[in-house]
Amino acid sequence: MNVHEFQAKGILESHGVNVPRGGVAETPEEAELIAQELGSDLFVIKAQIHAGGRGKGGGVKLAKNPKEVRTQAGSILGMQLVTPQTGTGGKLVRKVLVAEASEIENELYLGMVIDRESSCVTIMASEEGGVDIETVASETPEKIIKESVDPAVGLQAFQARKIIFGLNVPIDLVGAATRLIMGLYDAFVKSDCSLAEINPLAIVKNGDEHDIVALDAKMNFDDNALPRHKDIEAMRDQHEEDSRELEAKQHGLSYISLDGTIGCMVNGAGLAMSTMDMIKLYGAEPANFLDVGGSATTEAVANAFRLILSDEKVEAVLVNIFGGIMQCDVIANGIIEAVNQVDLHVPLVVRLEGTNVELGRKLLSDSGLDLITANGLAEAAEKVVSATENN
Ligand code: GDP
Ligand code: MN
């Protein structure tokens, strides 16, 4: 699950990470009020959407006084913000963060992810922070410092200092930077993050002094750990979630939306994974991961089918079911019911195997539906991929 920048900053702050003072507004008037309460010489107004690159897309603006904050908030709120991460349609901005702005001396990058290979949290940091970190990562990867944290002992102060010296943080800020990195790690572990990122981590001017502060924050959480974080679960923004994934959740289906063209309906996560692999092997990409579960009803199958077909990217559908607990005739009835309800506008390949398979196949062939049957997974994958190529 993702949260907005202002929510991530709230979590980070509760773990001792230094973030700018600010508040979130849904109207220009609220934005002005927040600015008045903050009382600063410079404010930043930032679109709150679940996507990065907002600066490049015009979703981050500076203002000198509360009146200007109101004007800028008015232009950002309600806009369809297009950034390199939103796709061409952009995302509707419903909230802005109004914060005290700082004069930036230097923009650094600090991120943490779970590295499955080493089963550790990997910390990444770079002196070249700011809006172009992706370019740094791909063109000059040597500018990214990495440090692996053993989960049994946690982040050690010497590791934090190693990163800080690698980042060339000014000597008088080493203590503050250490607290900040330790705070980020604490937040990462205690909130069961899969990713936490501060970009830019900024060295800012504060009168004659300077300071180190998280100007942006991004956090992703492990969905499987959310039941023990009711406070984070409550931050879910329905508008930002994939509408098909939400609908699937309501029907008790495990569905993940992907970028390819082949819709998949499979029972069992393992079979669903290998079905996706086979589709790739035959040269196409899956449009989704979908596990209808081991004991799905006709209704669940029909719902799953509707879900897949509502995705415009889908050019063909592959149903791959192994009837163990689930019976092939139930699947067949579900397919027939669903196809009768929705307009099947793409080729459908069905591979059934297992309990009641003969009955299932007979139901399908008697239904008069225009579908392609397959024996075996390889044949099914090959047929569904060539069905999209013939389109
Ligand atoms: P992103 O583009 O979605 O990653 O949004 P960021 O929060 O990272 O903001 C993009 C850029 O806006 C930053 O790299 C900064 O250069 C600038 N920016 C963000 N906050 C401030 C601030 O408080 N003061 C100043 N001067 N610039 C800011
Ligand atoms: Mn950023």
pLDDT score, position 107: 96
pLDDT at residue number 229: 97
CA 145, CA 124: separation in Å to the nearest integer? 6
How confident is the model at residue 391, as a pLDDT? 61
Please tell me the predicted confidence (pLDDT) of residue 349.
95
Q: Nearest C-alpha to atom 22 of ligand 1 is from which residue?
A: 101
Query: Which atom of ligand 1 lies closest to the CA of 218?
Result: 4
Q: Does the active-site annotation cover 109?
A: yes
Residues shown for the chain: 391
Rounded distance between C-alpha atoms, residue 268 and residue 284, angstroms: 21
Ligand 1: residue whose CA is nearest its atom 10 = 55
What integer pLDDT is reported at residue 241 of this predicted model?
83
Query: For ligand 1, what atom is nearest to the CA of residue 55?
Result: 2
Q: How far apart are CA 240 and CA 4, in angstroms?
A: 10
Ligand 2 centroid to residue 381 C-alpha, Å = 41
Locate the ligand 1 atom nearest the alpha carbon of residue 107 and give its number.
Answer: 14
Quick one: which ligand is closest to 62's CA?
1
CA of 55 to the centre of ligand 1 (A): 6
Global pTM reads: 0.82
Provide the pLDDT for residue 136.
87
> Residues 200, 109: contact at Cβ < 8 Å?
yes
Q: What is the pLDDT of residue 126?
A: 96
- Tens of pLDDT along 50-105? 999 999 999 999 999 999 999 999 999 999 999 988 878 899 999 999 999 989 99
Q: Of 198, 8, 28, nearest to 96 (Cα)?
A: 28
Cα dist. 235→8, 120, 221, 247, 284 in Å? 10, 27, 11, 19, 36
Query: Whose alpha carbon is nearest atom 7 of ligand 1?
Result: 216
Q: How far is CA 2 from CA 26, 51, 122, 220, 240, in A?
A: 20, 10, 19, 5, 9
Residue 296 has a pLDDT of 67
- At residue 358, the pLDDT reads 92
Q: Which of 5, 30, 197, 382 is catalytic?
A: 197
Catalytic option among 5, 30, 32, 109? 109
CA of 52, closest atom in ligand 1: 3
Which residue numbers in the chain have pLDDT < 50? none
What distance in angstroms lies between residue 109's CA and the mean position of ligand 1's atoms?
Answer: 12
Query: Who lines ligand 1 at CB under 6 A?
Result: 20, 44, 46, 52-55, 60, 101-102, 104, 107, 130-131, 199-200, 215-216
So what's the pLDDT on residue 144? Answer: 93
